Amino acid sequence: VWKFKEKLKGVVTKETGAVVKDFGGKASVLLVYPNEYAIGMGNLAVHSIYGMLNDREDVVCERAFLPSRGDLNEIARGDGELLSLESQRPASDFDAIAFTISFENDYLNILPMLSLAKMPSLARDRGASSPVIVAGGAAPTINPLPISEIFDVIFIGEFEEYYDEFCNVITGAGDKAEIISEFARMEGVFVPREGRGGRAVVGEAVSKRRFLKNLDEFRTQTRIYSDAAEFGDMHLIEAQRGCPRMCKFCATPAAYFPPRQRSGDAIVEMARGGRHYRARFGLIGADILSHPEFVEIAEAMHAMDATFSPSSVRADAIDEVKARLLAESGHRSISLGIEAGSERLRDALGKRTPDAKIIDAASTLARAGITRLRLYFMIGLPGERDEDLLAIAAVAKKIEAAVRSHAPKGSGNRIIDITISPFIPKPGTQFAKEPFVGEARIKSCVRAIKSSLIHERGMRLHFDSAMDARVEYELSNAASGMHEFLAEAAAHGVKMALGSYKNLEG
């Protein structure tokens, strides 16, 4: 335990921007990201909620992450427990514990963390002296039901819209039951113990979600710098929220509707502040190159003697000027979501990017010296035929040829990395009612793609696991609590949990 505490102290010592406050007279919130430190600190929600809560004089917020596997074993051997990072206090010392959850597969880490915190995982088993345990984030926003037995309260939508009310409730004099009933009166909040359940809640949750109207009102950016964090070499700035493209399979428009952009002036001003700490900016958004002021923003960042990196790029937004700016910012590789091999299937997904546009984008990037492309495709899509799988190989080969013929001499390695992920229908999307094709079909798709691409030079193939996809499907779509599944997964692993779950379903 002592070793774990020392480790946590060491982590905070290496950070810049962490807030260590006296607890006296303040409401205390433990902000939990249910995955390891590096991943959690790469997530802007953690920075933003942490900063907003600590901006209040009457609130103190500290963080907790899933300990690494080694630390977990060590804690299990001793009598350790879940501690906050900043002051190494036990989770049970806080007035409220707030989980921010972006990805459904992180639900698997909730029970192990509550067990470390020495708290019962079912809300109904936790007494009046236990902190109020709440959740929010993109995953519970599109469907709060899978974790409904665990949390006292689930916030649907964006935290900025709850900020003042949330702080007023936790800083009030109420006991746990009063805090929960105050939260229950707030618009958009889901309180599972009120007894509502079933499919209706899924649709209702997404449609009643609360969202921030104007991104410029809150500066969503890195608040704590750490070299140990994912993207820790960058100052991250949220440039866009949501996406106007509305691809039928994608959860981004569902969780973050309507699409919003931060103004160029605000982005540049945030970059100026971040430049004291980092010389590289991470621009977070679904389609950064289509920001109406992208060129001005990129040039302003270069003028600060800094570079930038967009979190996501669309092939049809690439032109010579933008490719040059990306190259000047040090990019040698770019990721493109192609999604489906054939134009027919791409059209059916609502991702209407013709082959010619993709080849054109690859050629333009190659001419600018960006010769490593990471291409993302999905398999198991609604309406998918065997020829669509072969079309993945065909379009990948055309892209490789385009890069080869347009790359300037001496521009370094040309590599096409291809990642294939199973399609997972998500609540709130236009494909919500489409089936998940199952592990057998996914494996046969993988075999077909491997045999058509495995011998191609300059291409590397990566396949996401069919079992992980199955787990994500179950955890995204369940119309009732998944506590039993999560408990089985925590005790015996996800494979066993899936087996028992399938038997249960018959």
Residues within the interface to ligand SF4 (CB under 6 A) = 243, 245-247, 250, 252-253, 286-287, 314, 337, 351
Query: Can you tell me the distance from the alpha carbon of 501 to that of 482, in angstroms, rounded to the nearest whole number?
Result: 10
* Residues contacting 71, CB < 8 A, separation 6+: 4, 7
Closest separation in Å from C-beta 324 to ligand SF4: 23
Q: Which two tokens mark 228?
A: 């140990």
Cis? peptide before 258, omega within 30° of 0:
yes
Q: Return the number of the residue (153 or 239) whose C-beta is nearest ligand SF4.
A: 239
Query: Can you tell me the distance from the alpha carbon of 158 to that of 136, in angstroms, rounded to the nearest whole number?
Result: 8
Report yes or no: 18 and 62 within 8 Å, Cβ to Cβ. no
Write out the DSSP string of 220-251. Answer: -B--SB-TTSTTTTSEEEE-EES-TT--TT-S
Q: Return the number of the residue (27 or 338) whose C-beta is nearest ligand SF4.
A: 338
Q: Return the number of the residue (30 or 313) whose C-beta is nearest ligand SF4.
A: 313
Using alpha carbons, list the distances in angstroms from residue 441 to 60, 411, 423, 438, 466. Answer: 50, 40, 11, 6, 9
Q: Return the number of the residue (206 or 243) whose C-beta is nearest ligand SF4.
A: 243
Closest separation in Å from C-beta 37 to ligand SF4: 27
Q: Return the number of the residue (252 or 371) whose C-beta is nearest ligand SF4.
A: 252
Closest separation in Å from C-beta 432 to ligand SF4: 14
Query: Can you tell me the distance from the alpha carbon of 380 to that of 27, in angstroms, rounded to the nearest whole number?
Result: 48
Closest separation in Å from C-beta 240 to ligand SF4: 10
Query: Can you tell me the distance from the alpha carbon of 5 to that of 27, in angstroms, rounded to the nearest whole number?
Result: 23
Query: Can you tell me the distance from the alpha carbon of 453 to that of 459, in angstroms, rounded to the nearest whole number?
Result: 8
Secondary structure (3-state) at 375: strand
Q: Return the number of the residue (95 or 238) whose C-beta is nearest ligand SF4.
A: 238
Closest separation in Å from C-beta 415 to ligand SF4: 23
Q: Return the number of the residue (152 or 472) whose C-beta is nearest ligand SF4.
A: 472
Query: Can you tell me the distance from the alpha carbon of 308 to that of 310, in angstroms, rounded to the nearest whole number?
Result: 7
Beta partners for residue 210, in sequence order: 157
Query: Can you tell me the distance from the alpha carbon of 179 to that of 184, in angstroms, rounded to the nearest whole number?
Result: 9
Alpha helices in 407-482 (DSSP H): 439-453, 466-477
Q: Return the number of the residue (219 or 351) whose C-beta is nearest ligand SF4.
A: 351
Q: Return the number of the residue (67 or 428) whose C-beta is nearest ligand SF4.
A: 428
Helix (H) or strand (E) holding 62: strand 59-65
Q: Which two tokens mark 127?
A: 């007494």
Closest separation in Å from C-beta 242 to ligand SF4: 8
Q: Return the number of the residue (231 or 256) whose C-beta is nearest ligand SF4.
A: 256
Amino acid at 119: M
In degrees rounded to 5, what are phi and psi of residue 330?
90, 10
Q: Return the number of the residue (223 or 314) whose C-beta is nearest ligand SF4.
A: 314
Q: At what angle do helices 494-505 and 483-492 cross, to 10 degrees?
A: 140
Closest separation in Å from C-beta 40 to ligand SF4: 22
Closest separation in Å from C-beta 360 to ligand SF4: 18
Length of the chain in residues, anyone?
506
Residue 177, burial from CB neighbour count under 10 angstroms (0-12, 13-18, 19+)? exposed
Secondary structure (3-state) at 89: coil
Closest separation in Å from C-beta 429 to ligand SF4: 9
Closest separation in Å from C-beta 472 to ligand SF4: 16
